[in-house]
Structure 1
Amino acid sequence: MKIALPTCQNSIDSHFGHCEYYTIFTIDDSSKEILNQEIFASPAGCGCKSNIASTLSEMGVKVMLAGNMGEGAVNVLNRSGIEVLRGCSGDVKEVTLNWLSGAVVDSGELCHEHESECHN
């Protein structure tokens, strides 16, 4: 399985739609260990209006661990088969290890600043 994290300087980017890049971890389903780490460049423009959801899905991403995210982005990712957990922060590898241990849950909070739009 693969998970993606919107990243800025190796930490979770609080604005999914304008992250520098995505860190993608390949996880061994049985051992719950990280097998591989790769970087995927963020597309130009707003995340929820780009093709990032379908692209990540085609790469095999099933989970996104994110900071803040509007409802539109959550819906687009969910329609592409990607589960979203919001409210994450800190070093991407530490967040991933915490998620693997079951310590990360979705905050359930949407970014309300531009709830129906992307961040500018």
Structure 2
Amino acid sequence: MKIALPSRDDLIDSHFGHCEYFTVFTTNDSEIIHQEIIPSPAGCGCKSNIASVLAEIGVTMMLAGNMGDGAVNVLNNSGIEVVRGCSGSVKEVALAWLAGTLTDSGDSCHEHEHGCQH
């Protein structure tokens, strides 16, 4: 399984559309076996091509902080499940997901919902 996390300084970036890069972990059932960095495209997350880029490399899960409904829909339509409300070290968040201790907060970044503007 491949998990992507919007990142800044090895931490979950609290705003999906403004992250510096995406950390992508390849995992087995219980551990991280590989890590790679995917540069963040210019522009807002929901209007960029990041969903297709991540889907093409096999990402099926996004662990994120805040994210608008538009971005969630774009990711879901590319076969990527989204868990919102994550914070802290990207590695610790990924390990928490693997341990089954993370759930989606359901919180959307509503001020960006219509047009995903800054």
The alignment's TM-score, normalised by the length of structure 1, stands at 0.95
Find the aligned partners of 1:118 and 1:8 in 2 and give their Cα distance: 20
Correspondence for 2:71 among 70, 73, 80: 73
Quote the residue 2:11 is aligned against: 11
Match for 2:113: what amino acid? E
Quote the residue 1:91 is aligned against: 89
Q: How far is the alpha carbon of 1:117 from its aligned partner?
A: 2.5
Find the aligned partners of 1:36 and 1:102 in 2 and give their Cα distance: 19
Find the aligned partners of 2:115 and 2:36 in 1 and give their Cα distance: 29
Q: How does 1:52-71 map to 2 (within 5 A)?
A: 52-71=50-69
User: Aligned Cα RMSD in Å?
Assistant: 0.8
Find the aligned partners of 2:71 and 2:99 in 1 and give their Cα distance: 26
Quote the residue 1:82 is aligned against: 80
Provide the identity percentage: 70
Match for 1:27: what amino acid? T
Q: How far is the alpha carbon of 1:55 from its aligned partner?
A: 0.6
Q: Give structure 2 stretches of 5+ with no counterpart.
A: none
Q: Give structure 1 stretches of 5+ with no counterpart.
A: none
Give the total of aligned pairs: 118
Find the aligned partners of 2:116 and 2:21 in 1 and give their Cα distance: 17
Find the aligned partners of 1:119 and 1:6 in 2 and give their Cα distance: 18
Find the aligned partners of 2:50 and 2:12 in 1 and give their Cα distance: 17
Deviation per residue, 1:78-113 (Å, 9 max, x gap): 000000000000000000111110000000111112
Find the aligned partners of 2:80 and 2:67 in 1 and give their Cα distance: 14
